[in-house]
Amino acid sequence: MPVPELIRILQEQPVYRKRIAHIESFPAREAAFGEPDTPLPESLAAYLAAKRIRLYTHQCAAINAIRSGKDTIITTPTASGKTLSFALPVFERLERDPDARALFLYPTKALANDQLGSLREIGKFTGIPAHAAIYDGDTPQGHRASIREMSRLILSNPHELHQVLSWHNRWRTFFSGLRFVVIDEAHRYRGVFGSHISLVIRRLRRIARFYGSDPVFILSTATLANPEEFAARLTGRDAALIDADGSPRGRKHFVLYNPNFAGISERSTHQETKDILVSCVREAIPTLCFTVSRKMAELVSLWAQNDLRQVLPGKQDCVTAYRAGYLPEERRAIERRLKSGDLSAVVSTNALELGIDIGGLDAVIISGYPGTMMATWQQAGRAGRSGGDSVAVLVGFEGPLDQYFMHHPDQFFSRAHEHAIIDTENPYILSGHLLCAAAELPVREADFPLFGTGCEAMIGALEEHRLLRKTPWGWVYTGRGKAAEAVQLDSISTDTFRVTCSGKLLETIDRAHAFREAHRGAVLLHQGDTYLVREMDLEGSVIRVTEADVDYYTQAMHDVDLAVRDRKKARDTNGITLSFGDVDVSERFFAYKVKRFDTVLDVVPLDLPPIQFGTKALWFTIPEEIERAVLARNLDFAGGLHAVEHALIALMPFHVICDRWDIGGLSTPAYGEENIPTIFVYDGYEGGIGLAEKAYDLFPGLVAMARKLVEDCPCESGCPSCVYSPKCGNDNHPMDKEAAILILRELEARLCPAPAAAEAAPVPAPVQVPCDP
Amino acid sequence: MQSASLLAGIGARWQNRVASLREYDVIREGNVFGTSFADSFLYQDEFDCARRLRSRLLDEYEGRSFGDVFSGTVRENEGGECTVLTSREAIAVPGQDPESLRDAILADLTLVKGIGPKTAERLRKRGFATIPDLTGHGRYRAPARELLALIEAGDRPGLLEFIARRHSASHPHILGMSSLFPPESLVFFDIETLGLFARPIILFGVGRIEGGRITVSQYLLEDPSEEHAALLETLSHLTGENPALVTFNGKAFDLPYFRDRLAYYGTPFFAGIPHFDILHHSRRAWKGELRDCRLGTLEREILGVQRSEDLPSQMVPEFYETYLRTGNPGPLVPIVEHNRQDVVSLARLYALHMERWHAGS
């Protein structure tokens, strides 16, 4: 069998061997079959029989939960048959109850299109009249009315839902019968976007209630550290968790591959990736390779083809790059060729992560840690035809997260995945949706629980600005513009920039984002393509870019000013006071670096006004004894604080799904009037988005991990793998790795019960510090 | 608990954001493209003119109150209170001619499903000239009888629906059907709103004919909280004896909008009321002759009415909002006049169409 052969090659050949940080092997697992509590109706049982499908335990558990009217969240891996878990109970109900309706929400049209086929097939085979149809921006005007009236299973997406809710009168029949709402790939709804969507869902529930329905919500997600919390935040209701996977699995090998093994890399990660890919092709192993950008996908594919031309002439056409922009027919052609063996390897960005059925692969190569465990396991999960051995290879970049895993493989494999964060209380987000809700139906006091504690005061503010008007039936929307248009689902600020290329709109980003990543001269990545920013028009809020094929990238540098406005919570543990609350931040982007790999080619000044916003932050102080200890060793205390700040921020994505760019930090040996050494970590989004708040809860674990990261890094005095941050406004000065280790050791000792503490271990009896309400 | 200043900031931010959304484009003169396009564009000079008008009104009506300027009657219902402004004008009343209509319908074989123009011609040659004749035809007996039954029963909505299934909205039979309704039961209807969708209706214009005059009742919202009451008052016009709606583009805009706003307050609405949309008939009559089929153009070119200082309907939301913001009723004056003239012109246009129909054109 080729996969064990590949493993052998990796372990034995000197060139590969020294790069292998770790190989973890997971034994094969048999399927665990089950039966739902009561048998499925004949029509569906016949369908399963015809397809020779037996239900796994988790599918049965899901069916049971859904049938009993419980909201459910299913987190079993890809290819475990999640779709059937919810399709079966939905079809069962559609058969029994002629008024029943179901809404299936997908994050993209492509995914909805893929699912439509299989859902229609079930309907056709069983004869259950679901009339499944897609209703989204592409649906022709002439079809819309009949779909609303006739279709009992509608597939759509949250953007469409956001618009459609104000037309609910036309959807009367559908909403009156709504029994199920399925949210597929729900983990995508996190962060700013997820917080918006959670409010769209609240609005949907309100409208359903108006028409007398109370649908069951079914969420299908990737594995998360906090599934129940996530489900509760997304829908507003508690959900039953289905996570024990009963599907079968062949033996799986996971290789952690570190080209950076000696602390420096001889060649680029992508070239290393290419080598592994070529080996796979030579061993005739069908392979899928994920890269972080489209450009990289094309390069790796090209280099692989070049190599193959030399060593295996004729085989070079077996490798191809794959992108999100392909038409459905093109995608299906590639899928077919992979299945038939015509294609040996496909190199892609994470487009395929979105559940499009590719199947039939034995190896997955992941070039560079994708940023989350969730994405990593989703990508790795693509390998493995039933029964056979499969392999996943993670090729590490030189950044702190990648290197942390390469040096601590136990951490990688025991890691329980990240938390997905949704913040339903960000006032900027909530207020917009209150306007939308008022435009749909007058807002009443009975609606307040749905929208949370802040809404009454917010309604008052909106009323003062004549956007709402109080009437005996509730608050009515009286704005001149359309509410659903005023609210943009992927940003917080209403101060947004349009990014255009040759007059065509690429995307809309908010001001902070624009200054950080799309200033004049910046190299901007969008959906895997590279662009160069030619002009940033502050007056007109437009950023003009052109497509670029450059081999350098840019990093903006900024100064941060911060003031605490209000402390909301705090706890004191052994002399370390950790606080959380509202802060005012001012970020000033004063220059940017032009870099190729790690070499700085140039530093260009920027002339931009500072970005000022209020947000949420956590902060903690360093007691005098620690400072004294650092100074006693002749180490740079400020440098140590700075390094600690960087390490904490670098590891945040380990715990919550975010980008290191979503968080900002500030460290100073003398904060405020009392000049106390303090480190701040704040959410990079106005109003806060729940990241610093989660870090407050997980703080001891975060500190423990930071200590390990910095202490175990083989570098001398700091490097991009531990404490150097690519976005540091001070160009990573001052920086003292040794001081940081000392500080972190002290913090860990005080915050965690034992030196080798588990992450997120609850802190023993912390003293709650009283705060002003 | 959010701080007061944070909340105020949020309120201001949304106010600015919402105010920046416009549902029409301002284009330079000379860039005329689609006619009878959705009225989503304004010429630059119209826009500037309107802006100047607004400033002038604000000056003129400074210090005056709503009640001062608009002396209407207060109406009360389950929705609350609202004000109605009434005005009257003479109008030539279209006559009823049920006989002509009956003859026209009975002579139209294509009303029967399965009979197109060619088949109709063939049938006529074979001696089947009218619908009653078809009751002797094996194949078309049943639908012919169905149609005759509707006529005998005097089921006007049913008949209208039957015809609408076979002919387009602009067909003369449809127009002719309206002559079966006494002029008193016609409801001429036109609304002014705060936007194209999902915002309050701020003015309802309803015209009724009685004894050679048209009475225009306008329900103008002094405050958005009166919308529910105004909706119900308007609705009462449509729940009388055998009402029939006459509108201009009401099928696509005014009526669905009205229904959605009723639903917004939880009042479910009726199913089909006979509805005669004069836009369709006007297009059929004069398309190609005029630069577009907007009501204003028809009014000017066909009815010979010149409005002075009129307000383009796209600007209504801005004018109403200015009133809400300042309390100055000045900007409302042209809205009311515009709407009143719309209703009257609608009725006059309708009368003209009926005249032409009677004349057999």
CB-CB neighbors (< 8 A) of A473 in chain B: 228, 265-266
Instruction: State the average pLDDT for chain A.
Output: 87
* B120 lies in the same domain as B60: no
Q: Give yes or no for a contact between A181 and A175, defined as CB atoms under 8 angstroms apart.
A: no
Optimal mutation site among B17, B78, B335, interface A, most CBs of chain A within 10 A? B17
Write down the mean pLDDT value for chain B. Answer: 87
d(CA B101, CA A206): 50
Distance CA A665, CA A685 (A): 13
Model pLDDT, residue B164 = 87
Are B134 and B197 contained in the same domain? Answer: no
Domain end point (choices B175, B195, B218): B175
Cα–Cα distance for residue pair A395/A392, rounded to 1 Å: 10
d(CA A6, CA A114): 33
Q: Please, which residues bridge with residue A580 across strands?
A: A569, A618
Are B285 and B356 in a shared domain?
Answer: yes
Output DSSP code: residue A466: T
- pLDDT tens figures, A337-362: 877 878 888 888 775 554 455 666 88
Instruction: Determine the pLDDT at residue A154.
Output: 98
Query: What is the residue-wise DSSP string for A300-341?
Result: HHHHHHHHHHHHSTT-GGGEEEE-TT--HHHHHHHHHHHHHT
Q: Tokens for A291?
A: 């890269």
Q: Which residues of A touch B199 (CB under 8 A)?
A: 439, 477-480, 482
What ipTM was estimated for this complex? 0.83
Tokens describing residue A395: 């090729």
Confidence of residue B89 (pLDDT cuts 50, 70, 90): very high
Residue A352 is predicted with a pLDDT of 55
Class level of CATH domain A42-242: alpha beta
**Is the pTM of the predicted complex or chain greater than 0.80?**
yes
List chain A residues with pLDDT less than 70. 1, 262-266, 316, 323-328, 351-360, 385-387, 415-416, 494, 527-528, 597-598, 659-661, 754-773
Which residue reads 């299934």 in tokens?
B165
Q: What is the pLDDT of residue A763?
A: 38
Report the residue of B3, B10, B318 to disrupt the A interface, i.e. the one with the largest count of A CBs within 10 Å. Answer: B10
The more confident residue out of A654 and B30 is A654
In chain A, which residues have their Cβ closer than 8 Å to the Cβ of B3? 566
Shared-domain flag, residues B17 and B145: no
How far apart (Å, rounded) are the C-alpha atoms in residues A222 and A77?
6
Least CB-CB distance to B14: which of A431, A442, A484?
A431
Residues B207 and B340 both lie in one domain: yes
Instruction: Report the Cα–Cα distance between both ends of chain B, in Å, rounded.
Output: 71
* B201 and B300 belong to one structural domain: yes
In sequence order, the β-bridge partners of residue A464 are: none
Beta bridge partners of A555: A593
Contact B8 A479 (CB under 8 A): no
Of A465, A471, A480, the CB nearest to B195: A480
Name A116's Cβ contacts closer than 8 Å, sequence gap at least 6.
A132, A133, A134, A155
In total, the C-beta contacts within 8 angstroms joining chain A to chain B are: 132
| Residue A428 with chain B: CB contacts under 8 Å | 10, 13
| CB–CB contact B17 A486 (8 Å) | yes
Per-domain boundaries in chain A: 2-26+249-397, 42-242, 427-486, 496-553, 554-758
The domain boundary residue, chosen from B126, B156, B175 = B175
Total number of domains in chain B? 2
Q: Which residues of A touch B323 (CB under 8 A)?
A: none
Query: Smallest Cα–Cα separation from A185: which of A102, A93, A112?
Result: A112
Considering the domain architecture, whether residues B232 and B310 belong to the same structural domain is answered as yes
Closest-approach residue (CA) in chain B for A452: B1
B167 in the same domain as B273: no
Report CA dihedral (B353, B356, B360, B361) to the nearest 10 degrees.
-90
User: For residue B321, which residues of chain A lie inside 8 Å, CB to CB?
Assistant: 466, 480
The residue in chain B having the minimum alpha-carbon distance to the alpha carbon of residue A428 is B10
Contact A427 B2 (CB under 8 A): yes
Residues B119 and B50 in one domain: no
Distance of alpha carbon B105 from alpha carbon B171, whole angstroms? 12
pLDDT at A510: 79
Residue B105 has pLDDT above 60, yes or no: yes
The per-residue pLDDT for range B54-87, each reduced to its tens digit, is 999 999 999 999 999 998 999 999 999 999 999 9
Task: Examine the domain organization and report whether B24 and B36 are in the same domain.
Answer: yes
- Tell me if domain A2-26+249-397 and domain A42-242 are identical in fold: yes
Shared-domain flag, residues B146 and B202: no
Q: Which of A453, A478, A539, A686 to mutate to test the interface with B (most CBs of B within 10 A)?
A: A478
Task: Kindly state the helix (H) or strand (E) to which residue A708 belongs, with its residue range.
Answer: helix A699-712
At residue A358, the pLDDT reads 61
* Last residue in a domain, options B148, B175, B202: B175
A476 closest CB neighbour out of B19, B200, B318: B200
Measure the CA angle with vertex A73, ends A649 and A448; round to 5°. 80
Q: Which residues of B touch A467 (CB under 8 A)?
A: 11, 14-15, 18
Q: Average pLDDT of B244-272? A: 89
Give the domain extent around B123.
Answer: 98-175
Rounded to a whole number of angstroms, the distance from the CA of A175 to the nearest CA of chain B is 14
- Answer yes or no: do B69 and B154 share one domain: no
**DSSP letters spanning B152-216:** HHT-HHHHHHHHHHHS-TT-HHHHHHGGGS-GGGEEEEEEEESSSSSS-EEEEEEEEEETTEEEE
CB contact under 8 A, A483 and B198: yes
Residue A610 per-residue DSSP state: P
* Separation between Cα atoms, residue A487 and residue B1, nearest integer Å: 23
| Residues ≥6 apart with Cβ < 8 Å to B351 | B91, B92, B93, B94
Report the run of H or E that residue B316 belongs to, with start and end: helix B316-326
Of the options 3.40.228.10, 3.40.50.300, 3.30.70.20, 3.40.50.920, the CATH number for the domain spanning A2-26+249-397: 3.40.50.300
| Per-residue pLDDT, A222 | 86
Paired with A577 in beta bridges are A572
